[in-house]
Structure 1
Amino acid sequence: MDTENKHKASNIEALTFLLPRLGAASHIYTGKAAGLGVTKENVMALVTLRDDFPDLADIENGLLHLIFNEPKEKSDMIMESLSKALQTVVNVYEHSSIALCGSTLSSLWNTDIAIVEKQIEQQQCKLRDINDELREASNSYEMTPFNGASPEYVALLERKLERYKADYDKERHILDGLYSQKRKLSEQLSHIGNDLFGDIYSQCSALLSSVRRYFDTTVSDDHDNENVEMVSVLTYFPMHLVSKIYELCNGSQFKEMDEVDFFHAINLHPDSHLLQINPGEKVRVCYLISRLGTTLGTPSKEEWTNAILSRLDIKSQFYRSKYRQPVSDMPSEANAEFAAAIKEIFDK
């Protein structure tokens, strides 16, 4: 293959590598933002994408090769798939980065590391026991020339030595395998880095800008809107708003919880922790719910309001009769202060 053809092949390989991995990444980002969590396999797939992300110039050359050398239907299909995956990653991250970056991915390895360390400890004990037996048998065997041992006894000791040596080698091999497992887990952990989701977001954002230069912007914008809508369905309230509410209400209106858990809970994400209202705070929580509801359109407002009331065990009749108390004509001092703080958050 001549140099020019090799160069073309490498450009196409960049796209071939990227497309399926970006598709997988978009699903991982969407699921994580929705509170579904990630697996170690998901994390390692993202690590591979980040570490082996093709050079931008190679990708652009591959795109140009598609545009000029492939049928328009084929090139449009590939460009559309690439654009859609990139936009999903970018949009989900920009909308829900607190959910993506607020958890420690390394914790996914804690159980496996604890298990293998326990197995290593047990295997070391087993080896020590075998080694003690081997040493005792070896000492006995070495003394046979001096203690008048019978040939039968010498033969017995020799068989013992052979068996203990075989057992030791076998168990040592198992221990070496456990050490190898631990090294592999440690290597995987070392490759994750401090901001895996953010790193891939930066790579995808840069590539998306390039793709938009070559791909029909009308189609691209349509998909962008679709992805924004998709993320909105998954997440009712953006991280910047939830973060401010968390700062105000965590430990006050609600029992203390982690900020990421609060983000998932307020957005009704699957498997999220339950919010717990502190005593005497139900009326102020009702007011908060009403203000959050004003940021949602129909039917999301009714859908979210009914769901959050159900989760918090607040009756609809109580909610309707109490949610305006903090902004009534004669609110209590605590209610007035809370309403003012909420107003400051929502009016910014």
Structure 2
Amino acid sequence: MAGEILIMIPQYGELNRIYSDFIVSHTFSFDKQKFITNFYKQYNDTKAFEAAILELVLDKQKEQYTLILDSLRAEIEKNMMLYEKYPLLDDEIISRVCYHFADRYNIDIEEQLEVTQKLNKPLNEAYNRYDSIDYREHTAEEEKQAEKEYERCKAEYEKEKEELDKLYELQKQARKEAFQYIENCCGDIYKLSFHFMEILAKYIPVAKDKPEELTKPSEPDMQEEAPKEEQHEYFDMELLSHVYTTCVGEQFENISEYDFYACMNLHPGKCKLKIKTREKIRVCYLIFLMGEQLPKLDRENWKKNILKMLDIEENYYKSKYKEPVSDFPSDSNQKFAKEMDAIFR
């Protein structure tokens, strides 16, 4: 455990370099945000910190452990000073770098989707020619050629579709990772550092000629926050990307794909999903279809919360959600039902 203290000193040093770089040049990246978050997760146990110091004190000569702990205290003091004296990272900056990381595959997906869709038409045409050849006079050579053309088109399409699926999977992983690091931990690290300073004071004296006393955070700030729960993913990005393409701008007001993903998975965010005028019935049908993709326990919880988020009364939902597939649906409802069938079949 004492070795953790030796590792912690350069880790604090790197944290301070990240802070200083931002203060000087306002540069920030997702990798830096990951480092900050991982730093907090790794060192947020004050009991383990004190146990490591105690082991160091018992294991080393006073001159050695004093040198080590003084170095650590210097890095902690610098970190607290940077946080207190300068405007550091706010939630908007952190969200921006996380969103950028989450959307890193968007352009590649758009390009690959276009390639794949272009191959879909010749594949269908080749299949129709091959499938219908028995219904007209043809030679064995013509049948062989039709089959060969179909297999060629199919292979080309499946190759590009496989690439598209890989990109969707990479996008899913990137977005999942981005959500894990979207919280601002700078304030938490500041409070944690204050606890560390109090613990260090037990083992090495604070210099009397110290130029400035660190300001103790207020009591509410000193309270340890409950650990943040990992955000649940009800629906993956591949499904929601299809829903987004079909429904945003039609059933919902314009919203970024990333925010749409967050809203449909009930993740907290500033952007509110809004239903367009006269589209509530079709949204109810969409909610029904999406709920059917979930296990029963998740389904009820998700449905209750998504209805609340979209300001849809439960009684209204129950009375309207099947209208697009009723016996006499309107043209717009019928069209929407077909679009949904293409996504959820």
TM range (shorter): 0.5 to 0.7
Count of paired positions: 214
Give the structure 1 partner of residue 140 of structure 2: 151
| 2:164 equivalent to 1:175 | yes
Correspondence list, 1:39-188, <5 A? 39-96=29-86, 98-101=87-90, 103-113=92-102, 116-188=105-177
Mind listing any 5+ residue stretches in structure 2 that lack a counterpart? Answer: 215-345
Contact (CA 8 Å) 1:212, 1:220: kept in 2 or not? Answer: no
Mapped partners of 1:39, 1:123: distance in 2: 27
In structure 2, do the counterparts of structure 1 residues 99 and 135 end up closer, same or farther at CA, with 3 Å as the change threshold? Answer: same
Cα offsets for 1:216-258 (capped at 9, x unmatched): 4229948989xxxxxxxxxxxxxxxxxxxxxxxxxxxxxxxxx
Kept in 1: contact 2:94–2:182 (CA 8 A) = no
Q: CA deviation at 1:43?
A: 1.0
Matched with 1:30 is 20
Find the counterpart in structure 2 of residue 292 from structure 1.
none
Aligned counterparts of 2:103 and 2:7: Cα–Cα separation in 1: 34
2:79 and 2:184 mapped to 1: Cα distance? 14
Cα deviation, 1:80-128, whole Å, max 9, x if unaligned, reads 33212211111110111x3433752221245555552232222222222
Aligned twin of 1:20:
10
Q: Which residue of 2 aligns with 1:308?
A: none
1:199 to 185, 188, 191: 188
Aligned partners of 2:102 and 2:178 also within 8 Å: no
Normalising to structure 1: TM-score of the pair?
A: 0.54
Aligned CA distance change for structure 1 residues 94 and 171 (closer, same or farther; 3 Å): same
The alpha-carbon distance between structure 1 residues 23 and 137, as it changes in their structure 2 partners (threshold 3 A), is same
**Alpha-carbon separation, structure 1, partners of 2:49 and 2:170:** 36
Q: 2:103 touches 2:175 (CA, 8 Å); kept in 1?
A: no
Aligned position for 1:344: none
Does the 8 A contact of 1:131 with 1:168 survive in 2?
yes
Deviation at 1:68, TM superposition (A): 0.7
1:105 partner amino acid: I
SS at match of 2:19: helix
Distance change >3 Å, CA 60–CA 133, structure 1 → 2 = same
What amino acid maps onto 1:78 in structure 2? I
- SS for the counterpart of 1:218 is coil
Task: Check if 1:210 corresponds to 2:210.
Answer: no
**Pair 1:34–1:147, CA change in 2 (3 A):** same
Q: Which residue in the other structure is 1:287 paired with?
A: none
CA distance in 2, matches of 1:160, 1:74: 78
Q: How far apart in 1 are the matches of 2:116 and 2:3?
A: 49
2:122 alignment partner AA: E
Instruction: Give the CA deviation at 1:54.
Output: 4.5
Aligned CA distance change for structure 1 residues 208 and 162 (closer, same or farther; 3 Å): farther
What is the alpha-carbon distance in structure 1 between the residues aligned to residue 98 and residue 91 of structure 2?
17
Contact preservation (8 Å) 1:80, 1:220: no
What CA RMSD, in Å, does the superposition of the two structures yield over aligned residues? Answer: 3.0
Gaps of 5+ in 1: 1-10, 226-348
AA in 2 matched with 1:164: C
- Once the two structures are superposed, residues 255-311 of structure 1 have per-residue CA deviations (whole angstroms, 9 ceiling, x without a partner) of xxxxxxxxxxxxxxxxxxxxxxxxxxxxxxxxxxxxxxxxxxxxxxxxxxxxxxxxx
Instruction: Kindly indicate which of the two structures has a greater share of residues assigned to helix.
Output: 1
- Which residue type is aligned with residue 184 of structure 1? Q
Distance across 2 between alignment mates of 1:22 and 1:186: 28
Q: Which has the higher contact order (CA 8 A, sep 6+)?
A: 1
Question: What TM-score comes out, normalization by structure 2 length?
Answer: 0.54
